[in-house]
Amino acid sequence: MSLLHIQDLRVCYGGIVALDGISFEVAEHEIVTLIGANGAGKSTTLRAIMGLVPMESGSISYHGDKINGLDTQKIVGKGIVLVPEGRRVFANLTTLENLKLGAYLQSDKEEIESNLNRVYELFPRLKERHWQMAGTLSGGEQQMLAVGRALMAAPKLIMMDEPSLGLAPLVVKEIFSIIRRINEAGVTVLLIEQNANVALKTANRGYVLETGRITMTGSGQQLLSDERIKVAYLGKSR
């Protein structure tokens, strides 16, 4: 059974159709990516799953239970977290406070502490800078903090919105190797990216989203070698 199952999800923003009935699923322990151009509806999909935008119709189920219509904090409580686009760390809080906020719904102190240690292991840089205001971190460090903060919730499913946005190629490489490590530790990953190349290399499966519809699907390798994908998203000239 799939961990996350989206059926005919339709979202409109004041009359403009952003998602026109998309269906896809994510199985446990997978890395799945949604790729597509600007405005294809990638972010909207993740935001709809988190209950941040109202959906017109369709259903979202998680572990077989319907989660559409729940409050965002309830969805987080079920073990789904979103690393938002543009990192969105709390600039006025320290690195450590940001991480603690990620564990807002956790009550077991020891568990929080062990999660914190695990995050510090993945991102030693965050430990060095735990006292620093998050607004003063570099872009790459902020992205690490955003991912670390999400992991503090001990999620089963982590969704990431453009983790490579605005980062230097080396940092992008580092972030993606960490995504793989998180996945190896048993966390399911749903990733959306404009950087289709690196996303498809990392993911087990991918879906291609075009103006609110899913137009193609396959394993990461299949999509990587597909001629149409190469032309549209990987920058190969015709």
Partner 1 sequence: MSITTFLQHCLTGISLGGAYGLIAIGYTLVYGILRLINFAHGDIFMMAGYFMIFALASFPWPIAIVITLVITTVMGVVIERLAYKPLRSSPRMSIMISAIGVSYLLQNLATYLFTAIPRGYPEIPLLKRIFRIGELSASLVTLMTPVLTIILVALLILLVNKTKTGMAMRAASKDFETAKLMGININRVITVTFAIGSLLAGIGSILYFTDRMSVTPFSGTLPGLKCFVAAVFGGIGNIPGAVIGGFFIGIVETLLVALGYSTFSDAFTFLLLIVMLLVKPTGLFGEKTVEKV
Residues binding partner 1 (CB under 8 A):
50, 52, 71-73, 76-77, 81-82, 84, 86, 88, 90-93, 97, 100-102, 104-105, 133, 135-139, 142, 149, 153
- Nearest distance in Å: CB 148, partner 1: 13
- Token duo for residue 199: 């996303």
Judged by CB, which is closer to partner 1: 150, or 214? 150
Judged by CB, which is closer to partner 1: 88, or 180? 88
Q: Are 18 and 12 in contact (CB under 8 A)?
A: yes
CA distances from 145 to 44, 164, 174, 225 (A): 23, 14, 13, 33
- Nearest distance in Å: CB 227, partner 1: 37
Coil/strand/helix, residue 114 = helix
Judged by CB, which is closer to partner 1: 98, or 202? 98
Judged by CB, which is closer to partner 1: 93, or 234? 93
- Nearest distance in Å: CB 206, partner 1: 24
Judged by CB, which is closer to partner 1: 52, or 234? 52
Q: Are 160 and 26 in contact (CB under 8 A)?
A: no
- Nearest distance in Å: CB 91, partner 1: 5
Distance in angstroms (rounded) separating the CA atoms of residues 58 and 39: 20
Report which residue type is found at 61: S
Q: Which of 18, 24, 46 is nearest to 192 (CA)?
A: 46
Distance in angstroms (rounded) separating the CA atoms of residues 103 and 101: 5
- Nearest distance in Å: CB 158, partner 1: 12
- Nearest distance in Å: CB 230, partner 1: 33
The structure tokens 């609110």 sit at: 212
Judged by CB, which is closer to partner 1: 108, or 228? 108
Report which residue type is found at 237: S
